[in-house]
Amino acid sequence: VVVPGNPPLGCSPTMLTSRSGPNTTEYDPMGCLIDVNRVATVHNSRLRAAVVSLRGRYPRATIILADFYSPIIKILRNPSHYGKDSLVALVCTPIDLCFLRRGQPLSCLGILLQG
């Protein structure tokens, strides 16, 4: 069983667009929303503890926690390492999903939102 953790939601273009504001203290040095990422990290910590507990309860089961937070933060902290010259280039457009595949450049798939 794969249990997905939360990515750094405070860095997502959708969240940044919907919660944008003039208060610069709400953002970390990368421009991500601090409080939103704090919720994601607390959730991930609790989820990690729950997975450890489940592994103890069901030792014959394979239970894997998928950490999306750490690798995404690593990419956002060093976009040039992944072939992008800025965070803006990294996230492509305001509402996109981005994918990183081994040996290939980062690619983005736009999401069309309809009201």
* Tens-place pLDDT, residues 21-62: 888 899 998 888 999 999 999 999 999 999 999 999 999 999
Q: Is residue 89 part of a domain?
A: no
Strands 107-110 and 64-66: unpaired
Q: Is residue 55 part of a domain?
A: yes
Provide the CB-side half-sphere exposure for 98 (13 A, CA): 26
Q: Is residue 36 part of a domain?
A: yes
Q: List the structure tokens of 72.
A: 């995404």
- How many domains is the chain partitioned into structurally? 1
**Which residues lie across from 64 on neighbouring strands?**
2
Q: Is residue 90 part of a domain?
A: no
Q: Is residue 62 part of a domain?
A: yes
Confidence at 100, pLDDT banded by 50, 70, 90: very low
Q: Is residue 103 part of a domain?
A: no
Q: Is residue 28 part of a domain?
A: yes
Q: Is residue 43 part of a domain?
A: yes
**Contacts of residue 70, Cβ cutoff 8 Å, sequence gap at least 6:** none
What is the span of the domain harbouring residue 77?
2-82
